[in-house]
Amino acid sequence: MKRLDGKVAIITGGASGIGEAAVRKFVAEGARVVIADLLEQKGQDLAKSLGESAVFEKTDVSLEDDIKSLINITLERFGRIDCLYNNAGFGTHTRPVADTPTSEFDAMTTVLLRGTFLGIKHVAPVMTKQKSGAIVNTSSVAGIAGGYSSLPYSAAKAGVISLTRSVALELGKAGVRVNCICPGSIITPIFVRGIPLSEQEEQQALEIIAQSLGGNALGRAGTADEVADVALWLASDESSFVTGQSIVVDGGLTVGLNWSDMAAWMDRLYATLAKQFPDAFAKLADPPR
C-alpha cells in the first residue's frame, strides 16, 4: 500500500521547484493532486505528464476568490481534501530597512503570509467537517533567525510559523494537523526567477549557486526532493501525532558555526592582534589561536 493511497492534496506553487518535487512524490505515493500555480504552461505540462492523478488550476494565492475557487474545484472533482500544502512564494533582494520599498514589503507579505492564511482559512471548514486533514506550510530558516534573507521575506516567514502554531491549537481537536517546513540551503529556481535565462543557462546558474550553499554541517546544498520528502511525511499518516511544529530542513545551517570555521576566524583574529601588539605576543610561550 502506498503512503497516500486514497488521499487528495492541493499543492500551491506546484509547477516548479519544491512544489513540483512534492507533486511528483505525492502522485507516486497514490495521491490525487491539484497543482495550483501562476506558471500556467509549466503547471499544465506537469499535470499532463502525471496522467489522471494530477490536474492544474491557475491560482493567485493572494486573491481570496482564487483560493475559494481552488477549494471548490478540488471538492467538485475529488470530493474531499486531505492535504493542503501552502508552498507558493518568491524571494526578493536584500536591502537595508530604510531602502526597502513599502510596495515590496506589501507584495511579499501578501503572497507568503496572507496567501498561506487564505489557504488555511478556506480549507479549515472542509477538514473540520471531515474530522481529518493535514495542512503543511512553507516557512524558512529566515523565519527563525535573522540574516538568511531579506527583511520582508524573513518577516513573512516568521509570520507563517506563528500562524502554523495558532491554527494547530485551534484545529487539533477536529483531527486536523498543521505544521510548517523551514528550508535552508536548498537549491531551487527561486534564485534565478525573473532573470532572462535559457533552460541551459538556468541550470548552469543553479549549479554555480549550489556551490555557494555548502556553509552548513553537511557541507552541501539541499535539493527540492529532500524538502518534498518532509512534506510527504507530514501529509501522510506516519506523522499522525505531529502538529504545530516547524521542521527545519537545512543541512545543519542553523545549528551553529562549524568549529573549523571558528578556528580559522580565531587564527585570523590573533594574527591581526599579534601584528598590532608584537611585543606582548612575543612574551607568550603558547600564543592563543
Q: Tell me, yes or no, whether 285 lies in a domain.
A: yes
Distance in angstroms (rounded) separating the CA atoms of residues 156 and 111:
9
Residue burial 21-42, b: 16+ Cβ < 10 Å; e: rest: bbbbbbbebebbbbbbbbbeeb
Q: Are residues 109 and 166 in the same domain?
A: yes
Distance in angstroms (rounded) separating the CA atoms of residues 260 and 264:
6
Q: Are strands 32-37 and 54-58 parallel, antiparallel or unpaired?
A: parallel
Task: Quote helix, strand, coil % in the chain, to nearest 5.
Answer: 55, 15, 35
Q: Are residues 58 and 147 in the same domain?
A: yes
Beta carbons of 150 and 91 less than 8 angstroms apart: yes
Answer yes or no: 85 catalytic.
Answer: no
Q: Are residues 197 and 173 in the same domain?
A: yes
Stronger pLDDT, 265 or 222, i.e. the higher one: 222
Q: Is the pTM of this model over 0.95?
A: no
pLDDT tens digits for range 81-112: 999 999 999 887 788 899 999 999 999 999 99
Q: Tell me, yes or no, whether 215 lies in a domain.
A: yes
Stronger pLDDT, 36 or 148, i.e. the higher one: 36
Stronger pLDDT, 271 or 126, i.e. the higher one: 126
Q: Are residues 68 and 147 in the same domain?
A: yes
* Residue 53 lies in domain: 8-254
pLDDT tens digits for range 232-268: 999 999 999 999 999 999 999 999 877 677 677 677 7
Asked whether the predicted pLDDT for residue 287 surpasses 90, the reply is no
Q: Which of 85, 148, 153, 270 is catalytic?
A: 153
Q: Are residues 248 and 264 in the same domain?
A: no
What is the tally of structural domains in the chain? 2
Please name the residues in contact with 94: beta carbons below 8 A apart, sequence gap of 6 or more: 149, 150, 151
Domain CATH number, residue 102: 3.40.50.720
Chain centroid, CA 236 distance in Å: 18
Q: Are residues 14 and 147 in the same domain?
A: yes
